[in-house]
């Protein structure tokens, strides 16, 4: 028995207030889940939810109160920020009802769905997958996870992102087209959800490019905030 080579270490995210960390299973992402962002991408904003995945090891954990380097990826000249509320599941299942969905949530984090927008535009034009546009190394920065029990008010919370101190994205969680419970329910009809799954729930309007040297600050009020410098 044994392995041919050393298996990869588990991917984990720290949890605020706990020494135990959150072991990651899969990263699901929701496309176009805020009306104004759907419109800025050229769509009506009214459609069934759709999903894509990022490999778990694309996470970049951004500890609180640190300035973390975000490596600028290869093969793009149009790296975009998308600030998102991230849902962390501690229970899985299939065909989860909307009413039952929030019982599966352990907590929430703030994340960035970094995107090679030029490669995404080409993929859309050619009818090809988004993997290279969305699933590259360090494409999923994430804050420590805040347990749901420690969050007083999520529905009305502000979600925001600044670059070099200038506001780029600003919205509230209540603007989600498909809310957290509906998103979990939809996902669970397509995949068997599992403890350790993360869901990036979509981004509000204002996505734009960053350049090496830019400083990104992003947060969801009451959940967390992160600071990154593009390297
Ligand atoms: Mn996104």
DSSP string, 102-166: GGGEEEEEEEE--EEHHHHHHHHHHT--SHHHH-STT-EEEPPBEEGGG-S--TT-EEEEEETTE
**What pLDDT score does 64 carry?**
86
Quote the radius of gyration of the chain (alpha carbons, Å). Answer: 17
How far out from the chain centre does Cα 84 lie?
A: 5
202 CA to centre of ligand 1 in angstroms: 4
What pLDDT, on a 0 to 100 scale, did the predictor assign at position 44? 83
For the purposes of burial, counting CB atoms within 10 Å of the CB of 166, is it exposed (0-12), middle (13-18) or buried (19 or more)? Answer: exposed
Expressed in angstroms and rounded, the spacing between residue 208 Cα and the centre of ligand 1 is 12
Quote the ligand 1 centre to 1 CA distance (angstroms): 41
What is the pLDDT at residue 81? 98
Q: Distance from the CA of 31 to the center of ligand 1, in angstroms?
A: 6
Ligand 1 center to 38 CA (angstroms): 11
Task: Report pLDDT for 11.
Answer: 98
Check: pTM over 0.85? Answer yes or no: yes
Residue 140, beta-bridge partner list: 59
Look at residue 83 in the predicted model and tell me its pLDDT: 98
Residue 65: the pLDDT is 82
Calpha distance 192→95 (Å, rounded): 8
| Alpha carbon of 28 to ligand 1 centroid (Å) | 10
What is the model's pLDDT at position 46? Answer: 73
Ligand 1 midpoint to CA 92 (Å): 22
Quote the pLDDT of residue 82: 98
CA 3 / ligand 1 centre spacing (Å): 36
> 37: which 2 tokens?
């962002």
Q: How far, in Å, from the CA of 6 to the mean position of ligand 1?
A: 32
Task: Determine the distance separating the centroid of ligand 1 and the alpha carbon of 20, expressed in angstroms.
Answer: 28
Q: Tell me, in angstroms, the distance from the centre of ligand 1 to residue 230's CA.
A: 18
SS3 38: helix
Segment-wise mean pLDDT, segments of 10 residues, the chain, 231 residues:
94 98 98 91 86 98 93 98 98 98 98 98 97 98 98 96 98 97 98 98 97 98 98 95
Q: What is the spatial distance between Cα 29 and Cα 183, in angstroms, rounded to a whole number?
A: 10
Instruction: Give the distance (Å) from ligand 1 centre to CA of residue 79.
Output: 13
């Amino acid at each position: 028995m044994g392995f041919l080579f050393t298996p990869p270490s588990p991917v984990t995210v720290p949890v605020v207030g706990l020494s135990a960390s959150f072991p990651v299973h899969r990263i699901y992402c929701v496309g176009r889940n805020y009306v104004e962002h759907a419109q800025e991408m050229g769509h009506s904003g009214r459609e069934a939810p759709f999903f894509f995945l990022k490999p778990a090891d694309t996470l970049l954990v951004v500890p609180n109160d640190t300035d973390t380097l975000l490596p600028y990826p290869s093969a793009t000249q149009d790296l975009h920020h998308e600030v998102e509320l991230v849902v962390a599941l501690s229970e899985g299942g299939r065909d989860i009802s909307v009413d039952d969905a929030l019982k599966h949530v352990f907590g929430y984090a703030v994340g960035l769905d970094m995107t090679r927008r030029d490669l995404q535009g080409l993929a859309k034009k050619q009818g090809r997958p988004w993997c290279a546009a969305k699933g590259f190394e360090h494409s999923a920065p994430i804050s420590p996870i805040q347990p749901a029990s420690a969050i007083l008010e999520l529905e009305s919370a502000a979600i925001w992102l600044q670059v070099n101190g200038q506001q780029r994205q600003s919205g509230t969680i209540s603007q989600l087209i498909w809310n957290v419970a509906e998103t979990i329910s939809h996902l669970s009809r397509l995949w068997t959800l599992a403890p350790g799954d993360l869901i990036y729930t979509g981004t509000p309007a204002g996505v734009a490019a960053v350049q090496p040297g830019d400083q990104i600050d992003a947060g969801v009020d009451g959940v967390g905030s992160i600071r990154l410098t593009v390297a």
